[in-house]
Amino acid sequence: MVQLRVRPKTATVLAGLLAALAACSEEATPERPLQAVEVTEVQPAPYSHTVALTGEIAARFEASLSFKTGGRVDRVEVDVGSHVEPGTLLASLDPAEQQADVTSAEAAVRSADAQLRQAKAAFERQRSLLGGGYTTRSSFESADEGVKTAQGALDAAKAALEQARTALTETDLTADTAGIITQRSVDAGQVVAAAQTVFGFAKDGPRDAVFDVQEQLVTAAGPPPQIEIALLSDPNVRTTGHVREVSPLLDPQRGTVEVKVGLDTVPPQMALGAAVVGRETTPPIEAILLPWQALVAKEGRPAVWKLDPANDTVTLQPIEVARYDFDKIVVAAGLANGDRIVVAPAQLLRPGQPVSVAKPEAKR
């Protein structure tokens, strides 16, 4: 066996080297600092939100106007945007065909009247002859039947004349109530059929503000008690309204539902087709509000980092979000009054990680 002998002086040098190496190792692996975080304490606060949508003014009652008879349009007296009163002439047809029908019907009435007079005269002769025994009962009854037939022909001719005269008056299309022309689909010289739409008509009276509303807003809650309506071009022109009708049909392309808001009063500036803004503000409620920076996800669900004050570690806390606002989230469930939630940096943490709470800077 070979034994190594270390001199005392050499041993002292080795011990010094080992101590130096240990010191260098400790300096190379310093203790990692704790992650500094900003926290906020959960405290319910009053909260309300405003929904604003753009729509347009529409008439409560609309109608399509048309001629009751067909023909060629002779003239058009109004255009889109024209306000008319009851009895105003809107358009007229060339009455030549209807006038010819009246003339023919009048001639038919005169002819039937002459036939009736002849039949009556023949009947009177047969009655006299029958009383003297100079004719037969069969001839008398035949004359009586002739009177009845002629009377029926005259009645039919008079009815046809009345129809022809009515058709002549129907060549003029007039307004039966006050309103505004919203659509025009004919020009002079155009041939139209009976009942073909000629004008769109909005009756004077109540007005609606019509909005295309996202389905989620319609199904989330019932109709609000009152909606503020303001003119888009002049917000100082405003009124109020109430939801009057919600369409049961969903627009498949835009995912919206048509909502009609009946205006309580109609300012003169809110003409048909005017763009308006409708605003609805919900009543204030006690809610938990957090900055959107605090929101993270856990298994695809919203969550936040909750600070344990006993050991200054963080854990993921699932929450239910009632609403996402521009700069904050409204928490519906998952947090309690007094909970401390990490605001930032929420994306750099892991479960159970110890952290240090950063003190807010002093206000200057």
Give the span between the Cα atoms of 233 and 235, in whole angstroms. 6
Contact 342, 305 (CB under 8 A): yes
pLDDT of 22 > 60? The answer is: no
35-41/355-357 β-pairing: parallel
Give the span between the Cα atoms of 313 and 308, in whole angstroms. 5
CA-to-CA dists, residue 309 to 45, 342, 356, 357, angstroms = 23, 12, 11, 10
Contact 297, 255 (CB under 8 A): no
Q: What is the CA radius of gyration of the chain?
A: 47
- Number of CB atoms found within 10 A of residue 115's CB: 17
Mean pLDDT of 200-222: 82
275-281/227-231 β-pairing: antiparallel
Single-letter code of the amino acid located at 126: Q
Write out pLDDT tens, residues 141-195.
899 999 999 999 999 999 999 999 988 888 999 999 999 999 999 999 999 999 9
Q: Grade residue 219 by pLDDT with cuts at 50, 70 and 90.
A: low
Q: What is the pLDDT of residue 1?
A: 43
Write out pLDDT tens, residues 86-130.
999 999 999 988 899 999 999 999 999 999 999 999 999 988 888
Q: What is the pLDDT of residue 323?
A: 81
Element (H, E) at 132: helix 96-132
137-169 and 96-132 helices cross at what angle (nearest 10)?
Answer: 160
pTM > 0.75: no
Question: What's the token pair of residue 86?
Answer: 């009851």
Query: What letter would DSSP give residue 352?
Result: T
pLDDT of 314 > 80? The answer is: yes
Give every CB contact of residue 110 below 8 A, 6+ residues apart in sequence: none
Give the span between the Cα atoms of 175 and 77, in whole angstroms. 12
Q: What is the pLDDT of residue 28?
A: 47
DSSP 197-212: EEEEEEESS-EEEEEE
Return the bridge partners of 323, or none. Answer: 330
Query: Quick check: helix, strand or coil at residue 31?
Result: coil
